[in-house]
Amino acid sequence: MVKKGSKEERDLVHIFWDKGFAAMRAPASGGATKKPLPDVLAGNSKKYLAIEVKTTTKELIYVDSSQIDGLYKFCEIFGAEPYLGVKFKQTKWLFLNIESMTKTKSKNYKVDKNLALEKGLDIDEVIGRDRQIKFN
């Protein structure tokens, strides 16, 4: 079951602030507006990140393709880097490039915990600190 992410989104916003990035939730995301908005927006005048947030107690997360399309559209206009921020039970925040996600037969996306652990970037890698090369 994917949980409502408002608490987790707030926690992620605080983490970005602690790392020197201004960050905010876009509380109108998720259908309150027809405009494509990410769940969390963060930046530091050099780098801007737009993040669709998903958390779960399960081993698998499904993401509707319209959310990813909206994230890309927002990033194209705003100039931010798009990421899916995922948090599985007993994991830290991991950030995935959309290209590393698996498409389902219905053209939506799925991320399992193992994929996130293998391909996901941690917060320092996403913001550009201690960037490490990940080999496939």
Question: By the 8 A CB rule, do 111 and 96 touch?
Answer: yes
Catalytic-role residue among 29, 66, 100, 106: 29
Q: State the DSSP string of 43-99.
A: E-SS-EEEEEEEEESSSEEEE-HHHHHHHHHHHHHHTPEEEEEEEETT---EEE-GG
- Within a domain: 34: yes
Residues of the domain holding 86: 6-127
Q: How do the pLDDT tens digits run along the chain, 136 residues long?
A: 444 568 889 999 999 999 999 999 986 655 556 788 999 999 999 999 999 999 999 999 999 999 999 999 999 999 999 999 999 988 899 999 988 888 888 889 999 999 999 999 999 999 997 544 443 3
Q: What span, in angstroms and rounded, lies between the C-alpha atoms of 17 and 7? A: 16
- Within a domain: 48: yes
- Does the pTM of the predicted model rise above 0.95? no
Q: What is the pLDDT of residue 136?
A: 37
For the chain, what is the domain count?
1
CATH assignment at residue 46 = 3.40.1350.10
Tokens of 56: 């779960």
Q: What are phi and psi of 19, to 5 degrees?
A: -95, 5
Residues in the chain: 136
- Within a domain: 43: yes
Is 29 an active-site residue? yes
